[in-house]
Structure 1
Amino acid sequence: MRILSILLFGFVILPALAEQNRVEEFMLDNGMKVIVQPDRRAPVVVSQVWYRVGSSYELPGATGVSHVLEHMMFKGTKHVPPDEFSRIIAALGGSENAFTGVDYTAYFETLSKQHLERALELEADRMRNLLLDEKEFQRELAVVREERRLRTDDDPNGLLWEQFNAVAWRVSPYRNPVIGWMHDLETMSVADLQHWYEQWYSPDNAILVVVGDVQPMEVLALAKKHFGVIEARKKSVYRARPEPEQKGVTRLQVKVPAEQPILVMGYKSPAMVDVKEPWEAYALVVLNSILGEGDSSRLTSRVVREQKLAVSAGSSYDAFSRLSGMLELEAIPAENVDLEVLEKALREQVNALKSIPVSQEELQRVVNQTVAKKVYARDSLFYQAMLIGMREANGYDWKTLDEELQHIRSVTPEQVQAVARKYLIDEHLTVAVLRPKKTDAEGVKKS
């Protein structure tokens, strides 16, 4: 870990550079937050506009509306014809795109720094002047429905995860797919999008993040010029729907034509938003890294390489999700290995974390790897902006990005064991399996 030590030490011994690249935060009079991270390694800038709305805000019968609206944001305003936004950015030598998540929708451009104002001008225009044309809407809706068919309905892994979330969560809006249920996509109207746009696309519900070769005060002046003149709307109030307590293991089985079986296990676990003791969330971050992140994790080293029970195995956990989440495990069994045998092997690794404290040596190695991964992610202008935007859109302060590293280093073996015993229990567990279904084309009667 010598490289990591040098890299981290560099942040300490270069205060002048750190001061020069200090993140600056501003608030416009209309409630829009502006965050600027100078990074002058190249004359390039990344601009991102984040809206605090995603699929977890959607109500039954209207799933997918956030994602469809994201598509329509490129289909013209009072001043810009359909698809012209993308053509303008491309003509300036830049690139642009957008994405919708469970808790946010974001739009971004990467381009030469002298064109930043044009990007902000275009973003501000579609924040308040979007035109929702019926023909464009129907065309784009067909695109989204086809996207759903390709990525979910005809993708066994996508279908398994969709079914897993729908069953694991009883009430939490995380049970709904970002792309939406097909029935909702078939009945969606332009009026639904217009209502969603007016409800959530407002400067007081948005965050502008700019990272690159810029001066913070100059970015602020541009933000005031283009976004500051947009009036705030009365923000909608999100009504939380607490997840009821689970009383035992929940199981589901998905049988579709597929190349290989898959096992998914999810333990309901708190995020930083709802833990009483913040160290628990950081301990879960470290536990997740020990269990299933990277080639040296226990799932990979023991279940895949040593026991040869799986061709792949890993885990994931997000401490900074907007709502309480899960620690999830996914594994693909090796040939001729039953899913029940694989589940037992994964459970043994979970139980080992409960019964025996992780050694200080393993803990230090994993902590170093986790910190290194987070530090290296910041080397990219785009990911610097994305990390800031995600943290802010989920209701956390961007400053937690720096605080997180120190907290992770402070996690102890006893804390890892404590959260394993508290949260990785059957009462929190949902198990989903994908069992490949034979097809007529294979010369076998359908099961």
Structure 2
Amino acid sequence: MHRWIFVKQVCVLIGLTLFFCVGITRAEVFKPQLFKLANGLKVVVISNHRAPLVTQLVMYKVGAMDEPPGQTGIAHFLEHLMFKGTKNLLPGEFSKIVARNGGQENAFTGRDYTGYHQSFASDRLEIMMQIESDRMSNLILTQEDIGPERQVVLEERNTRVENNPSALLSEEVNAAFYLNHPYRRPIIGWRHEIESISRSNLLAFYNKWYAPNNAILVIAGDVNVRDVLGLVKKYYGGIPSKELPPRVKWVEPRHQSDRRITLRHKQVRQPQLFKKFIAPGVMQDAPKSRALEILAEIIGGGTSSRIYQSIVVEQKIAASAGAWYDGETRGPGTFSFFATPLPGKSILDVERAIEKFIADLIEKGVARKEVAVAATRLQDAAIFARDGLYGPAVILGRALAIGLSVDYVEQWPKRISSVTNDDVNRAIRVVFGRGGSVTGLLLPEKKE
């Protein structure tokens, strides 16, 4: 039932790419209104009267990177348990109320945040606010709930990771890639730690981080702002704020050595290569982050991109290839490449082709026209985002959760259009012109 954000590759494939890129061709993208209650809850209202529908999203500014040592996966485990009982609702009653009122619900856990959302007819806003606000402070966890849900989470790990060689490799690449930052830990958690997380651990995590002053509420759809604020004050306004613990200011040291991870697995039929570089995230260097967004579109944006045209179409070395940038983070960003060899070509052929591609990129850079075309394509690709409800809610919720402002999202189209080829070429040298990459190879088992 719950959607778990695990690897950026998956997000790209399902279209949840960088939230800045769910974009728009001119300033004032969604025209949201931002409010803040006395208890610290930030409230964003996005009016959209195209259909009598509403999305409610509550985003907590806590994710896998905030987990205590020895408790990987607790943020995701708690996300599952948030659908159990409260002081006012029996276990499972939350979901029954949503369904009975014709709504849909889901939740997700990321490295930096955890989100809960429902979509429903606009005349059901009050009941949805009532039950969502209830679990912000009134969650009840019993051993009878925790035991079975632990098995659900472990089975999710079996399905998504243990039986997925690509996901197994991704875990090991991340563990080798980050020298210090908690992004090195898997969002779903290590199996042995999921098995050992206790009820007291879960309650401590909930009581520490689930509070109005650590949350963003986004209401998007066919609503009147005054009515929304009245309901928000009624249902969320009385929840007391908490003294939040100080956050660790994680710093990733400079990556100086290249590392190599090889996984052979019986399920692998087609070899794959992944290559990952540390890069500035938007919270570290917003201008470079925008330049890297442009670069990712130029070299990795689909079948017309540079890398696909080079090693798939022209050189006929790879069956598929791509590149992406992940910078929508509180911590450091990454720039990654992937490729699979054509039959008759080896994984080493693909690796040499990617290394030459990167070397040429450092030497020759990108052209002014490429940058202009990429910026326009990024803006045009998701122009219909304005018409949706869930998309705008998530875009703004995620932005605020990692520390960006509403203004940053609203002014993104203007800022992305100001990126120059000199900006992009400087970013290329910063990211690729030094050591510290990790290469992951996914290969079939050796024949005896």
What SS does the corresponding residue of 1:428 show, helix, strand or coil?
A: coil
What SS does the corresponding residue of 1:399 show, helix, strand or coil?
A: helix
Measured in 2, the distance between the counterparts of 1:281 and 1:91 equals 44
**Pairs within 5 Å for 1:2-81:** 22-81=31-90
Match of 2:226 in 1: 217
- Structure 1: which amino acid aligns with 2:370? E
Do the aligned partners of 1:291 and 1:350 also contact (CA within 8 Å) in 2? no
- Residue 315 (structure 1) aligned to one of 318, 323, 326: 323
- Structure 1: which amino acid aligns with 2:271? P
1:135 CA drift (Å) = 1.3
Do the aligned partners of 2:48 and 2:387 also contact (CA within 8 Å) in 1? no
After superposing the two structures, state which structure 1 stretch, 310-319 or 170-179, moved more.
Answer: 310-319
- Structure 2: which amino acid aligns with 1:325? G
1:426 CA drift (Å) = 4.2
Task: Output one character per residue of 1:217-267: Cα deviation in whole Å (capped at 9) or x when no partner.
Answer: 211111110010000111111112211221121111112221221111111
Task: Output one character per residue of 1:347-384: Cα deviation in whole Å (capped at 9) or x when no partner.
Answer: 22222222224233322221111111243334321101
1:268 CA drift (Å) = 0.4
Residue 420, structure 1, aligned to residue 411, structure 2:
no
1:94 CA drift (Å) = 0.8
Match of 1:437 in 2: 445
Task: Output one character per residue of 1:287-318: Cα deviation in whole Å (capped at 9) or x when no partner.
Answer: 11111122211122221222222222112213
Measured in 2, the distance between the counterparts of 1:22 and 1:408 equals 18
Task: Output one character per residue of 1:17-60: Cα deviation in whole Å (capped at 9) or x when no partner.
Answer: x89x7311000000000000001100000000000011011132
Do the aligned partners of 2:265 and 2:444 also contact (CA within 8 Å) in 1? yes
Residue 182, structure 1, aligned to residue 205, structure 2:
no
Measured in 1, the distance between the counterparts of 2:226 and 2:42 equals 14
Do the aligned partners of 1:283 and 1:411 also contact (CA within 8 Å) in 2? yes
Measured in 2, the distance between the counterparts of 1:401 and 1:296 equals 27
Match of 1:15 in 2: none
- Structure 2: which amino acid aligns with 1:143? V
Match of 2:397 in 1: 389
Match of 1:336 in 2: 344
- Residue 355 (structure 1) aligned to one of 330, 348, 363: 363
- Residue 302 (structure 1) aligned to one of 298, 310, 313: 310
Match of 1:270 in 2: 280
1:398 CA drift (Å) = 2.2
- Structure 2: which amino acid aligns with 1:37? I
Residue 410, structure 1, aligned to residue 418, structure 2:
yes
Measured in 2, the distance between the counterparts of 1:397 and 1:38 equals 18
Identical counterparts, % of pairs: 36
**Residues 210 and 171 of structure 1: CA distance in aligned 2, closer, same or farther (over 3 Å):** same
Measured in 2, the distance between the counterparts of 1:57 and 1:374 equals 32
Task: Output one character per residue of 1:60-95: Cα deviation in whole Å (capped at 9) or x when no partner.
Answer: 210000000000000111111111111111111110
- Residue 94 (structure 2) aligned to one of 85, 97, 102: 85
Match of 2:20 in 1: none
By relative contact order (CA 8 Å, sep 6+), the higher-ranking structure is 2
Runs of 4+ in 1 over 6 A off after TM superposition: none
Do the aligned partners of 1:103 and 1:322 also contact (CA within 8 Å) in 2? yes
What SS does the corresponding residue of 2:387 show, helix, strand or coil?
A: coil
Match of 2:124 in 1: 115
**Pairs within 5 Å for 1:198-277:** 198-257=207-266, 258-275=268-285
Give unmatched runs, 5+ long, in structure 1. 1-6, 13-17, 439-443
**Residues 146 and 8 of structure 1: CA distance in aligned 2, closer, same or farther (over 3 Å):** closer
Match of 1:377 in 2: 385
What SS does the corresponding residue of 2:406 show, helix, strand or coil?
A: coil
1:203 CA drift (Å) = 0.5
Do the aligned partners of 1:291 and 1:349 also contact (CA within 8 Å) in 2? no
**Residues 318 and 406 of structure 1: CA distance in aligned 2, closer, same or farther (over 3 Å):** farther
- Structure 1: which amino acid aligns with 2:274? V
Measured in 2, the distance between the counterparts of 1:348 and 1:410 equals 30
Do the aligned partners of 2:32 and 2:46 also contact (CA within 8 Å) in 1? yes
Measured in 1, the distance between the counterparts of 2:51 and 2:183 equals 39
- Structure 1: which amino acid aligns with 2:180? V
After superposing the two structures, state which structure 1 stretch, 399-408 or 56-65, moved more.
Answer: 399-408
1:8 CA drift (Å) = 6.7
Match of 1:327 in 2: 335
Measured in 2, the distance between the counterparts of 1:160 and 1:343 equals 17
TM-score calculated relative to the size of structure 2: 0.91
TM-score calculated relative to the size of structure 1: 0.92
What SS does the corresponding residue of 2:46 show, helix, strand or coil?
A: strand
Measured in 2, the distance between the counterparts of 1:295 and 1:46 equals 34
Give unmatched runs, 5+ long, in structure 2. 1-22
Measured in 2, the distance between the counterparts of 1:128 and 1:209 equals 18
**Residues 402 and 353 of structure 1: CA distance in aligned 2, closer, same or farther (over 3 Å):** farther
Match of 2:13 in 1: none
Do the aligned partners of 2:327 and 2:334 also contact (CA within 8 Å) in 1? no
- Structure 2: which amino acid aligns with 1:400? Y
Match of 2:182 in 1: 173
- Residue 146 (structure 2) aligned to one of 112, 131, 137: 137
**Residues 139 and 343 of structure 1: CA distance in aligned 2, closer, same or farther (over 3 Å):** same
1:418 CA drift (Å) = 1.3
Do the aligned partners of 2:277 and 2:437 also contact (CA within 8 Å) in 1? yes
What SS does the corresponding residue of 2:411 show, helix, strand or coil?
A: helix
Do the aligned partners of 2:31 and 2:410 also contact (CA within 8 Å) in 1? no
1:319 CA drift (Å) = 3.1
Do the aligned partners of 2:24 and 2:379 also contact (CA within 8 Å) in 1? no
